[in-house]
């Protein structure tokens, strides 16, 4: 069921963003039910991970572990991992904010920078301007901007918005 949901989200995103090379890849972090009580290397668990898998601390920890695991794969030469499948080409992934991760985009860029990832500024979208982010609302890349486009299109066509029914969901 979880795989189906992730696949369907990716499929929808791929169709929605058909002209964007990254397309619609999605990732899922599925935590073991005992994960939030697992001890870290210093012998404490709940302080680092939070009291449940849904706590803000646990979500941050899960994102951090997930990102670090993928950075390991994207920087195999620094981590002594097998890199033969790409035949000398770098593995490039990009992260965008989604369910429960929007607040971690700055953190993702900062971790990648700290670890020496060459493309750390491009790794995450939705990050602060100070980290190289582009404000989506300023440059017309949000649901709000799509709505603004529709309003302007209706005006250009001479249609009165109050006289029609329109429905918009998603971004």
* Cα(20)–Cα(24) distance, integer angstroms: 9
User: CB burial class (10 A; 0-12, 13-18, 19+) of residue 101?
Assistant: buried
Most confident of 42-56, 115-129, 131-145: 115-129
User: What is the SS3 assignment for 124?
Assistant: strand
Do residues 117 and 123 lie in contact, with contact meaning Cβ atoms separated by under 8 Å? yes
Tens of pLDDT along 1-25? 777 887 887 777 777 665 555 555 6
* Cα(127)–Cα(133) distance, integer angstroms: 5
Q: Is the pLDDT of residue 65 over 80?
A: yes
Nearest to 66 by CA among 105, 94, 27, 33: 27
Most confident of 75-79, 115-119, 121-125, 133-137: 115-119
Active-site residue numbers?
26
**What pLDDT does 28 receive?**
74
**How many C-beta neighbours within 10 Å does residue 39 have?**
11
Most confident of 26-35, 65-74, 108-117, 123-132: 108-117
Helix residue ranges per DSSP H, 75-119: 76-79, 105-114
| 111 — pLDDT class (breaks 50, 70, 90) | very high
Do residues 62 and 31 lie in contact, with contact meaning Cβ atoms separated by under 8 Å? yes
Q: Comparing 154 with 142, which gets the higher pLDDT?
A: 154
Structure token digits, residue 131: 């980290």
* Cα(149)–Cα(140) distance, integer angstroms: 9
**What pLDDT does 151 receive?**
85
Structure token digits, residue 98: 């989604």
- Total-model pTM: 0.64
Q: Is the pLDDT of residue 94 over 70?
A: yes
**What pLDDT does 46 receive?**
45
| Residue that has been written with the tokens 């949901």 in this structure | 5
Q: Which residues have C-beta within 8 Å of that of residue 77, sequence separation ≥ 6?
A: 83
Computed over every residue of the chain, the mean pLDDT equals 76
């Amino acid at each position: 069921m979880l795989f189906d949901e992730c696949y369907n989200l990716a499929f929808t995103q791929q169709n929605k963003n058909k002209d964007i090379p990254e397309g619609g890849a999605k990732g899922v972090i599925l935590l073991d039910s005992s994960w939030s009580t697992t001890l870290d290397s210093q012998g404490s668990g709940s302080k680092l991970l939070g009291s449940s898998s849904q706590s803000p601390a646990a979500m941050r920890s899960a994102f951090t572990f997930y990102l670090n695991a993928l950075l390991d794969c994207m920087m195999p030469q620094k981590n002594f991992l097998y890199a033969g499948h790409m035949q000398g080409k770098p593995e490039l992934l990009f992260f965008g904010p989604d369910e429960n991760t929007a607040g971690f985009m700055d953190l993702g860029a900062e971790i990648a920078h700290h670890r020496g990832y060459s493309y750390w500024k491009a790794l995450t979208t939705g990050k602060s301007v100070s980290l190289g982010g582009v404000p989506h609302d300023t440059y017309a890349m949000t649901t709000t901007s799509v709505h603004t486009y529709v309003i302007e299109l209706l005006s250009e066509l001479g249609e009165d918005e109050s006289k029609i029914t329109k429905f918009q969901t998603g971004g």
